[in-house]
Amino acid sequence: MGMSQIHINPTWKKYEAKGSQEIPTGIEKAQHMEKLTLTWGDLVDITPLTKLKELRELDLSHNDIRELPDSILNWQSLRKLKLKDNKIETLNARILELKNLKELEISANPLNKESRPVLEQLKQKGVKVKTRSIPFF
């Protein structure tokens, strides 16, 4: 796993970047990060981001993410998670343990049938789930 040359100030609460090939260097040290946007890039492994325990909003739309690691359990403050247009097939059931999650955007992912019960349980918990698929012609 490589990291980009953009250096993150550990005191930052918000960071936004488009077209990231890699996760920015030092992001795991930004322990007060509340809002993070890394969109339109080539991100695959998001494990370093799970060290950001204060995250409330995370937008990783339009990347190459295939799965959510079990360490997403660290995101207990997370309210909004956007994963639109990635390559996620199976939604990690650990997402059900994120007590503050209010909104999940998972549209345009090749979700399989194993993900349906997880999505249904999220909806039952009151999470606003957006799952529109892009039709293939």
pLDDT digits (tens, 9 = 90+) for 57-89: 999 999 999 999 999 999 999 999 999 999 999
Q: Which tokens is 11 given?
A: 């005191």
Q: What does the pLDDT read at residue 133?
A: 59
Paired sense of beta strands 128-130 and 103-105, if any: parallel
Q: Where residue 4 falls among pLDDT bands split at 50, 70, 90? A: very low
Q: What does the pLDDT read at residue 118?
A: 96
pLDDT digits (tens, 9 = 90+) for 98-120: 999 999 999 999 999 999 999 99
Choose which CATH entry (3.30.365.10, 3.40.50.720, 3.80.10.10, 3.30.450.20) describes domain 3-130: 3.80.10.10
**pLDDT value at 136 more than 50:** no
Residue 81 one-letter amino acid: L
Residue 72 one-letter amino acid: I
Q: Which tokens is 37 given?
A: 């946007």
Residue (of 104, 136, 107, 108) closest to 123 by Cα position? 104
Predicted model pTM: 0.90
